[in-house]
Amino acid sequence: MNDPILENLNPSQLQAVKTTEGYVRVIAGAGSGKTKALTSRFAYIVDRLGINSSNILCVTFTNKAAQEMKRRVKALIGDLFDVSFITTYHGFCVRFLREEINKIHYPKNFIILDAEDQKTILREVFNELDINSKNLTFKQVLRFISKQKSTSDYLGYMLDNKSFDPDEKDSLSSRVYQKYLDKQKRNYALDFDDLIHFTAFILDSSPDVLAKWQEMLHYIQVDEAQDSSDSQFHLVEMLSRVHQNLFLVGDPDQTIYEWRGAKPEYLVEFDRMFPDTQTIIMNQNYRSTPNILKVGNHIIKNNKVRVDKDMVTENPEGVEVVHFHGKNDYEETLWVASEIKEILKTENASYSDITILYRSNHLSRNIEQALIKENIPYAIFGGVRFFERKEIKDVLSFLRLIVQGDNFSFLRLHNHPSKGLGKKFLERLSLLAGEQNLSLLQALEKNMEDKELNKKGAADFLALVAALKIEAETNSISDLVKIILDKSGLSELYRKDGDEDRLENIKELVSSMLLLEKENNGPVNIAEYLQEVALYTDLDKDTENQDKVRLMTIHISKGLEFPYVFLCGFTEGVLPSALSIKERRKRAIEEERRLMYVAVTRAEKRFYMTDSEGFNFTTGLNKYPSRFLFEIKEEFYVRKGKLSPEILQAAQSSAAASKNSGDTAFSEGDLVQHPVWNRGKVVAVDSGKNQYIVHFFEMGKEKPIDFAFRLLTAASDSPEEGSSPADL
C-alpha cells in the first residue's frame, strides 16, 4: 500500500482519522502523534471524503503551530487547496469579523489594537486622569482589563450602552478601564480579547449569521485543546451545533495558559457534555528517546491534579539526558556553546537542529553572548535579539554619546524622552553641523545662541550630557547606567509604561555589567565595553543564512519538536518562576512543572538542562538548581560540572521547605480553618498583596488573610467538631 495519508499511522491514529463524524476527542501525551493525526484527518476528509477544504475549520494557539499544521497538510494533499481555515483562534475571528462586523454597526475595516496600541491609549487616559506610575502601571491596568474581558459581560456597555459595571467599580483601574473602552468605541478599535467576544456576540445575537457559518463549517478540529478558554470553547461548540462534527485533541499535562484562562476541563470532561463522545487514547511516543521520555514522565508525575498516563516509546535508547552545572553564567553558556560544536562535529547535524529554550525573554542575554563569542549563528524565534531591544539600545546609545559623541546616538536620544525638539530644530542643527564640519552634539554646543536652536529642551539635553560626562569619570559602568536611566528620564518612561519586560531587560544588562566588574576585579572601561557589545549588535544581518541555532521561550516551543534541546537557566526562581513560588499556590507551581514537561518533551535525540551559581541580581538571591531537578531520579541523567555539597544542600532544603509550605497554600474554592473565626472558604487569592480573601461562614464576612499566616489550615469538607489547626 502506498498511501501517503494513511500509511505510517498506528491503529489509534487511524481510528482518529477515520472517525470523522460526531464528537471525538484524543487525549494523549506529548509526541504521541496528535497533531499528526489531526493533520492526516484534515487531508483524509478533503482527499477521501471529497469535502471542500474551506468547509473545515482547524484551530490552534500560536501562529507557529498553525504554520506547522498547514505545512503538514500541504505535504499530504499538495498546494492546490485553500488552507486558510487552518489558523489560530484570533486569525479565525479576524476573518469572521471582516465579513460580519457590520451586523453590530462597526465598519469592516475596524482597527485591531496590538500591545503597543493599547499602551498608546492608556498613555492618553493616564494623562486625562492625571495618573502616574506611582499609582498604577500599564501592566496592572492591562491585566485588569484582560480579567474584565475574560467574560463577555462588558459587551453590554460597549455595544448596547448599558451601564458600566465591572468589578471594583470605583477603583482607579476601573476608571481607566471605562475610559479605555470609550476610546475603543470611538475609534472602532478591537483589542485581542475583543476579537473572540465580538465574534461570539454576533453569533449569539444574529441567528442568520450563526446559521450561515454553522452550515459552512462541516468539520471543526481543535489542536492543543487543553489551553482553550471558556469563550474559545464556546465558539467552536456553537459553530459545530449543526453538523455536530467536533474533534478535540490535547494533553492536559501541557496546559500552560491557565493564567490566561485556559480550562483543560473542557477536554477532560468533554464526554459529560456530549455523552456519545468517542475517546481515543494514544500512548506511544514517536518523538523522543526512552531516556528523554523517562525524565518527562517522571517530572510530570509530581503534579497532583492530573490523570496519570505514562508514555512509552519504541525508539532506540539514545544517549543520556545531561545536567550541566556551571560556576557562573559564562561557564554555563560557554559549555552550551562548546557542546553545540561537539554535536556538529560528532553527529550528522546542522545548527538548525539545535534549539535553546528558556523561561523568559531576558534570559537570552548570556546565551547570545556566548554564541556570538563562539561564532555560532543563531536566531530568536518570536522575539528580538537582546542587544537589539529598544531599551538596551537606548542605554548603550547614551554610553556611546558620552564617550564618542556620535551622531547616531545623538539622533536617537536628543528628543527621547520627548523634549519638544522637532523636525525644524534638527534641520537647522544638521545644516550648521555640515557647514562647520562638526558632529551634531558639537554643533549644538557651539550654536546655542541660534534662534532655532535656543530651546529649553536643547539646553536641558546639553546639560544632561555634560553632567553624565562628569559622572562617567568617577562611577563604575553599572552605576553609570543607573545614573543615566535616572537623569535622562528613561527610567520613568519605562516605569510609566509599566512594561516589566523592559525593566527586566535593563536589570539583566546591569547585572551583566556587575558580573563583568566582579570578574575584572575592578572597573570596566566604557570604550572597551562598547567595542565588545558592538559585536553583538552589528552581527547577523545575513538573514539569508537560515542554518542557525534557534532560541525561544518554552511557551513559544509548544507543539514543535527539535532533535537537540538545551534548557538553560534551570534555576530555582526562574523555573519555577519567582512569582509562582511567591504565590505559594500549588496550581502555580504545577503550571511551572507542566512548562518543564513541555520543554523536555520537545527533544527528539538529546536533552540538556543547565544552570549556574552566582548571585541573581534580578531576584536578589543566590542561585541554585531548580527544585524540579531534584524530582528526577539521579540515575535518569548524568551530571557534568561540579555541584558542591553546599549548593546541593541549599537547593534541596529550599525545595523541601517550599514543598512543605505548599501544603498550607490554598487556591480559590478551598475550605480553610481559622483559629478564631473557624471555617471559611477562599474566595480569591490576591498575589499582589500576598493575601487570601476568605469568606468566614460564622461571621458571614470576608477577611484578607496573609499568605504567611500559618494558623490558617486546610479544612475538610465535613467539619469535625472542635478540630484544631493541625501541622503547626
Known binding residues for ATP are 28-35
Q: Site for ligand ATP (CB under 6 A): which residue of 36, 325, 502, 585?
A: 36
Residue among 13, 20, 25, 35 flagged as catalytic: 35
Q: Which of residues 559 and 576 has its CB atom nearest to Mg ion in the complex?
A: 559
Q: Which of residues 249 and 432 has its CB atom nearest to ligand ATP in the complex?
A: 249
State yes or no: residue 35 binds Mg ion (CB under 5 A).
yes
Q: Which of residues 283 and 439 has its CB atom nearest to ligand ATP in the complex?
A: 283
d(CA 285, CA 303): 20
Q: Site for Mg ion (CB under 5 A): which residue of 252, 296, 498, 559?
A: 559
Residue 403's Cα: distance from chain center in Å? Answer: 37
Residue 133's Cα: distance from chain center in Å? Answer: 23
Cα-Cα-Cα-Cα dihedral sign, residues 459, 461, 464, 469: negative
224 catalytically annotated: yes
Q: Site for ligand ATP (CB under 6 A): which residue of 17, 20, 27, 34?
A: 34
Asked whether the beta carbons of 494 and 135 are under 8 A apart, the reply is: no
For residue 36, the partner it binds in ligand ATP, Mg ion, none, with Cβ less than 5 to 8 A by kind, is ligand ATP
For residue 9, the partner it binds in Mg ion, ligand ATP, none, with Cβ less than 5 to 8 A by kind, is ligand ATP
What is residue 669's three-state secondary structure? coil
Query: With CB under 6 A, what is the number of residues at the site for ligand ATP?
Result: 19
d(CA 104, CA 610): 53
Q: Which of residues 35 and 577 has its CB atom nearest to Mg ion in the complex?
A: 35
| Least distance to Mg ion, CB of residue 280, Å | 14
| Beta-bridge partners for 380 | 551
Instruction: Note if the bond before 207 is cis, omega within 30 degrees.
Output: no
Residue among 100, 193, 224, 329 flagged as catalytic: 224
State yes or no: residue 8 binds ligand ATP (CB under 6 A).
yes
State yes or no: residue 119 binds ligand ATP (CB under 6 A).
no
Residues of each annotated binding site: 28-35
- CB-CB neighbours of 292 under 10 Å: 29
Q: Applying CB under 6 A, which part among 6-14, 152-160, 229-237, 424-432 lies near ligand ATP?
A: 6-14
Give the residue among 199, 240, 204, 212 at the shortest CA–CA distance from 92: 199
Q: Applying CB under 6 A, which part among 2-10, 501-509, 613-621, 670-678 lies near ligand ATP?
A: 2-10
State yes or no: residue 31 binds ligand ATP (CB under 6 A).
yes
Q: Per-residue x/- marks for ligand ATP, 260-299, CB under 6 A?
A: --------------------------xx------------
Residue among 263, 385, 400, 602 flagged as catalytic: 602
602 catalytically annotated: yes
Phi and psi of 652, rounded to 5°? -65, -40
Query: With CB under 5 A, what is the number of residues at the site for Mg ion?
Result: 3
d(CA 302, CA 628): 9
State yes or no: residue 13 binds ligand ATP (CB under 6 A).
yes
Q: Site for ligand ATP (CB under 6 A): which residue of 17, 23, 25, 33?
A: 33
Q: Site for ligand ATP (CB under 6 A): which residue of 193, 251, 497, 583?
A: 251
Q: Per-residue x/- marks for ligand ATP, 514-553, CB under 6 A?
A: ----------------------------------------
Q: Which of residues 18 and 416 has its CB atom nearest to ligand ATP in the complex?
A: 18
State yes or no: residue 30 binds ligand ATP (CB under 6 A).
yes
| Least distance to ligand ATP, CB of residue 251, Å | 5
State yes or no: residue 561 binds ligand ATP (CB under 6 A).
yes
Q: Applying CB under 5 A, which part among 30-38, 474-482, 492-500, 640-648 lies near Mg ion?
A: 30-38
Residue among 13, 254, 313, 601 flagged as catalytic: 254
Number of H helices, E strands in the chain: 29, 22
| Least distance to ligand ATP, CB of residue 51, Å | 22
254 catalytically annotated: yes
Q: List, in sequence order, every beta strand (DSSP E) within 664-700.
A: 671-674, 678-686, 691-696
Could you give the count of Cα atoms lying within 13 Å of 85 in the half-sphere of its Cβ? Answer: 21
| Least distance to Mg ion, CB of residue 538, Å | 38
Residue listed under C-alpha cell 537537540: 564
**Scanning residues 331 to 350, which ones bind Mg ion (CB under 5 A)?**
none
34 catalytically annotated: yes
For residue 318, the partner it binds in ligand ATP, Mg ion, none, with Cβ less than 5 to 8 A by kind, is none
d(CA 426, CA 430): 6
Cα distance from N-terminal residue to C-terminal residue, the chain: 67
List the grid coordinates of 459. Answer: 539646553
Give the residue among 124, 119, 566 at the shortest CA–CA distance from 376: 566
Cite the DSSP H helix spans in 170-229.
172-187, 192-205, 207-216
List the grid coordinates of 160. Answer: 448596547
Cα-Cα-Cα-Cα dihedral sign, residues 687, 620, 618, 137: positive
For residue 360, the partner it binds in ligand ATP, Mg ion, none, with Cβ less than 5 to 8 A by kind, is none
The Cα-based distances of 634 to 121, 517, 609, 637 in angstroms read 52, 36, 13, 6
List the grid coordinates of 333. Answer: 553558556
Residue among 68, 194, 223, 251 flagged as catalytic: 223
Q: What is the DSSP letter of 566?
A: E
What is residue 1's three-state secondary structure? coil
Could you give the count of Cα atoms lying within 13 Å of 262 in the half-sphere of its Cβ? Answer: 21
Asked whether the beta carbons of 343 and 607 are under 8 A apart, the reply is: no
d(CA 567, CA 632): 15
Q: Applying CB under 5 A, which part among 32-40, 310-318, 334-342, 509-517 lies near Mg ion?
A: 32-40
**Scanning residues 582 to 641, which ones bind ligand ATP (CB under 6 A)?**
601
What is residue 351's three-state secondary structure? helix
State yes or no: residue 10 binds ligand ATP (CB under 6 A).
yes
Asked whether the beta carbons of 495 and 364 are under 8 A apart, the reply is: no
**Scanning residues 650 to 689, which ones bind ligand ATP (CB under 6 A)?**
none
List the grid coordinates of 103. Answer: 451586523
Q: Applying CB under 6 A, which part among 34-42, 310-318, 536-544, 576-584 lies near ligand ATP?
A: 34-42
For residue 30, the partner it binds in ligand ATP, Mg ion, none, with Cβ less than 5 to 8 A by kind, is ligand ATP
State yes or no: residue 32 binds ligand ATP (CB under 6 A).
yes
710 catalytically annotated: no
Instruction: Note if the bond before 417 is cis, omega within 30 degrees.
Output: yes
| Least distance to ligand ATP, CB of residue 270, Å | 17
430: exposed, middle or buried (Cβ count in 10 Å: 0-12, 13-18, 19+): middle
Q: Which of residues 35 and 557 has its CB atom nearest to Mg ion in the complex?
A: 35
Q: Which of residues 297 and 673 has its CB atom nearest to ligand ATP in the complex?
A: 297
State yes or no: residue 254 binds Mg ion (CB under 5 A).
no
Asked whether the beta carbons of 405 and 399 are under 8 A apart, the reply is: no
Residue number closest to Mg ion, CB atom: 35
165 catalytically annotated: no
- At 440, the amino acid letter reads L
Residue among 34, 287, 389, 606 flagged as catalytic: 34
Q: Site for ligand ATP (CB under 6 A): which residue of 5, 25, 35, 611?
A: 35
Please enumerate in sequence order all residues whose Cβ is within 8 A of that of 412, keeping only pairs 6 or more positions apart, or say none.
Answer: 393, 394, 397
The Cα-based distances of 456 to 145, 419, 462, 469, 722 in angstroms read 38, 8, 10, 20, 73
| Least distance to ligand ATP, CB of residue 33, Å | 3
State yes or no: residue 9 binds ligand ATP (CB under 6 A).
yes
Q: Which of residues 35 and 62 has its CB atom nearest to Mg ion in the complex?
A: 35
What is residue 671's three-state secondary structure? strand
The DSSP string of 341-403 is HHHHHHSS--GGGEEEEESSGGGHHHHHHHHHHTT--EEETTS--GGGSHHHHHHHHHHHHHH
Asked whether the beta carbons of 581 and 365 are under 8 A apart, the reply is: no
* Catalytic machinery residues: 34-35, 223-224, 254, 602
Positions touching ligand ATP (CB under 6 A) are: 8-10, 13, 28, 30-36, 251, 254, 286-287, 559, 561, 601
Give residues in contact with Mg ion (CB under 5 A): 34-35, 559
